[in-house]
Structure 1
């Protein structure tokens, strides 16, 4: 009897996660959340993406990958999230949140999911200024300022 209860609880938890998970897709320069467009995306190159609002086409977020001028040595690589409308920059070496082997579009989809989960971006595609600051406090490693050049 306990096995049946355990199995039922497990299936309930899995179905809960499946029903309430948000699907983010970038397709044709559109960021879609559960099929509804919330942002516009522009791939500048493999290492840089920009995201724009739907309302007034303002650039609100720019992602940039930095190899720290050492393309062969990858231990010093990091990424920059520049929240332009909030004048806030976040630099981090933690690629686990966005890494996707050789597919920058999938990596950007993971980035948007992460920002939605942290409530930095709302379901309507707006930046939440309070959550941008919390996000910076949690994840910013301030790499540029502590790097000798």
Structure 2
């Protein structure tokens, strides 16, 4: 019985490290596991808005902080420019880029996958501002 428990834990640990993506942002380029993915504008905590663009600089996603008097700077409105789809999220930029990557929102050609944007909106598009 102990052997089964140990094997399960080892298998779980291996599976977890294999699926974990590392997001780094250097000189406005966000890379996932060492592969350049998108350009990120100045998305600092006090920025009024920022853009995520493809590697050629075409703006794909607009991010604006939303005001919550209880906890400022805690959620953001994300607009997928081509479709106009809006989603409210409680993520900072690196976890958000990881979400985009995992959901295959930006294609290898640097375009938005509109089918996946729709599914992303349905999956994560909770209306935080309505719940205030």
Could you say whether these structures have the same fold, taking a TM-score greater than 0.5 normalized by the shorter chain as the test? yes
For 1:82, the equivalent position in structure 2 comes to 79
Q: After superposition, give the CA deviation of every residue in 1:91-112 in whole Å (9 maximum; x if it has no partner).
A: 35xx2xx1xxxxxxxx211001
Residue 35 (structure 1) aligned with residue 20 (structure 2) = no
1:10-89 equivalences under 5 Å are: 10-43=9-42, 45-46=44-45, 47=47, 48-54=49-55, 56-67=56-67, 70=69, 73-74=70-71, 78-89=75-86
Deviation of residue 53 (structure 1)?
0.6
Give, in whole Å, the separation in 2 of the partners of 1:88 and 1:66: 16
Coordinate RMSD, CA, aligned: 2.6
Gaps of 5+ in 2: none
Residue 120 (structure 1) aligned with residue 94 (structure 2) = no
**When the two structures are aligned, how many residues end up with a matched partner?**
128
Give, in whole Å, the separation in 1 of the partners of 2:94 and 2:38: 12
CA change 1:7–1:125 in 2 (3 A) is farther
Secondary structure of 2:42's counterpart equals strand
Deviation of residue 40 (structure 1)?
0.8
Gaps of 5+ in 1: 99-106
